[in-house]
Amino acid sequence: MPEQLRVGGKHGSWHDGPVIEPDFLTMPHSTPKNFSLIAAIDLGSNSFHMVVAKANQGEIRILERLGEKVQLAAGIDEERQLTEESMQRGLDCLKRFAQLINGLPLGAVRIVGTNALREARNRNDFIHRAEEILGHPVEVISGREEARLIYLGVSHTLADTPGKRLVADIGGGSTEFIIGQRFEPLLRESLQMGCVSFTQRYFRDGKVTPARYAQAYTAARLEIMSIEHALHRLKWDEAIGSSGTIRAIGVALKANGYGAGEVNAEGLA
């Protein structure tokens, strides 16, 4: 299962909790009993992930987990076209993934694309080439469907508790916020901000200045304001961070003497 780190928060104050980094959004639609070997591929805006698992009587055992930083979203130009270079990075990665799923029947593999493919006007070109390599259909899912699947991945990884959870996933092109209870998402939101898209927009040359930071902060704040009331209306008992970005924040805070890897209010102040 995904690696767990110490990060999290409580409504009104932060505390130690787990950080989850789901390596896949969901397994295939078909029930595991139909196939002894199944796989899932997540075509993210920043990285591609694949999990291959063995299914036996409702139990799923992970056999292989792969992930590569592709930064597909970084290759979307001003006309919302994926550049050939960025597509080739992704396709090269999929060629390596394909070696592990070669021969698996249709229905045993689910492949989903997220924000970068939602945004790219020439997504069909990439999808067609990806399907030729993988031999399985590629599905581009909506932001709210992505949020639902992220929540399911987190809730099936953590212990089943009765309280409400706020799950935040900072991706390459979008950020998802979900409040749920047990295995049921109660609120699902997807915002147009991500680590790659904001880097391209505000810090393209790698320089972080006070003025640029203020612009990025304001843009993110405006995005979050659109869902802030709904989040606080539902409230939550525990906050869970999902994604490599959350992990990186925890590592950075620890390196600067703030906690043991958790994301806390003191470190973010």
* Measured distance CA(260)–CA(247) in Å, rounded: 12
Residue 166 lies in a domain: yes
pLDDT at 267 (0 to 100) = 83
Q: Mark whether 157 and 194 lie in a shared domain.
A: yes
Q: Which of 3-12, 47-56, 79-88, 101-110 comes out lowest in average pLDDT?
A: 3-12
Give yes or no for residue 75 having a pLDDT over 60. Answer: yes
Average pLDDT over residues 10-36: 48
Same domain, 150 and 117: no
Is 245 found in the same domain as 217?
yes
Residue finishing a domain among 140, 159, 189: 140
Residue 27 inside a domain? The answer is no
* Domain carrying residue 61: 32-140
Mean pLDDT for the stretch of residues 103-123: 95
CATH of the domain at 201: 3.30.420.150
Roughly what angle, to the nearest 10 degrees, separates helices 84-101 and 123-134?
20
Contact call for residues 24 and 51 (beta carbons, < 8 A): yes
Residue 95 belongs to some domain of the structure: yes
Same domain, 17 and 57: no
Q: Are residues 157 and 231 both part of a single domain?
A: yes
- Positive or negative CA dihedral for 226, 183, 43, 30? negative
Question: Do 162 and 126 share a domain, yes or no?
Answer: no
Separation of alpha carbons 146 and 176, rounded Å:
8
> 197 with 210: CB under 8 angstroms?
no
From 122, 140, 158, the end of a domain falls on: 140
CATH no. for residue 97? 3.30.420.40
Cross-sheet strand order for the sheet of 109-113: 59-69, 47-56, 37-43, 109-113, 138-140
Looking at the fold, whether 210 and 152 belong to one and the same domain comes out as yes
**Total residue count of the chain as it appears in this document:** 269
255, part of any domain: yes
Residue 73 predicted with pLDDT over 90: yes
Looking at the 3D structure of the chain, how many domains does it have? 2
Q: In the chain, what's the furthest Cα-to-Cα distance?
A: 57
Look at residue 4 and tell me whether its pLDDT is greater than 50: no
Q: What is the mean pLDDT of residues 220-234?
A: 96
Average pLDDT over every residue of 231-244:
91
Pull the structure tokens for residue 189: 């939101």
pLDDT at 178 exceeding the cut of 80: yes
What digits encode the pLDDT tens for the residues 202-222? 999 999 999 999 999 999 999
Residues 108 and 241 in one domain: no
* Span 72-98, average pLDDT: 96
Q: What is the pLDDT of residue 14?
A: 35
pLDDT of residue 26: 55
CA distance 61 to 141: 25
For residue 45, being part of any structural domain is answered with yes
Both 263 and 163 in one domain: the answer is: yes
Asked if 93 and 152 sit in the same domain, the reply is: no
Q: Which residues have CB under 8 Å from 26's CB, separation 6+?
A: 40, 110, 112, 149, 152, 153
On whether both 60 and 86 belong to a single domain, the answer is yes
Looking at residue 185, its pLDDT comes to 96
Q: Radius of gyration of the chain from Cα atoms?
A: 19
What average pLDDT score do residues 98-114 get?
A: 95
| pLDDT for 58 | 72
**Average pLDDT of the residues in 11-20:** 38
- DSSP letter (8 states) at residue 75: G
